[in-house]
Amino acid sequence: MKAHNYIALPVYQKSLALRDLSTAIANYFSYEGDTFGRSRKLGLRNEIANALFTDATLISSNLVEAATASSRKTRNKNITFINIMTRNILAYCNGLEKDGVKEKEYVHLLRRELRAFRADFKQWRKSLVSSED
C-alpha cells in the first residue's frame, strides 16, 4: 500500500476513534482526588489509565506500519501486536470495573468502540491475506 493511502481505510479511522475515546477515558480515570480536592494519589486506576492510553496509541501506529509494510513478516508482526493490544484494552475495561468505577457507562462505551474496531480490523486483515495470494 502506498504511503498515506492508509488514512482512507475505515479500520484506520476506527483506530483513531478508539485512541481518542481511550485517551478521554484514561484522562478521566487517571487520578483519584481526595474529598477536598487538595491532593491527588496514584493508584491502580492511574496505572490502568496510563496503560490504556499507551496501548490505544500503539494500535494506530502499528496499523500504519502494517498497512505500509513491504514485507509479510513485518505486517504479520504488527497485526499480532494489534491483536495483543486490543485484548489488553478489554482487560483494562475489566480492571476498571473490578476497581469499582461508578461510571460504568464509559467502560461499556469503550468496549463497544473496541468491538467496532475489531470487526473492521478482522475484515481488513482478511483482505490483506487474500491480496497476498
Look at residue 32 and tell me whether its pLDDT is greater than 80. Answer: no
Q: What pLDDT, on a 0 to 100 scale, did the predictor assign at position 39?
A: 40
pLDDT 10s digits, 80-91:
999 999 999 999
Q: What pLDDT, on a 0 to 100 scale, did the predictor assign at position 130?
A: 72
Look at residue 40 and tell me whether its pLDDT is greater than 50. Answer: no
Rounded mean pLDDT of 92-103? 91
For 94-115, b/e burial (b = at least 16 CB within 10 A) is: ebbeeeebeeeebbeebeebbe
- CATH number for 57: 1.20.1440.60
Using the Cα atoms of residue 125, residue 130, residue 131 and residue 133 in order, give the sign of their dihedral: positive
CA quadruple 63, 65, 70, 75: dihedral, nearest 10: -50
How many domains is the chain partitioned into structurally? 1
Chain position carrying cell 464509559: 106
Residues forming beta bridges with residue 40, ordered by sequence position:
33
Q: What pLDDT, on a 0 to 100 scale, did the predictor assign at position 38?
A: 37
Q: Which domain holds residue 89?
A: 5-132
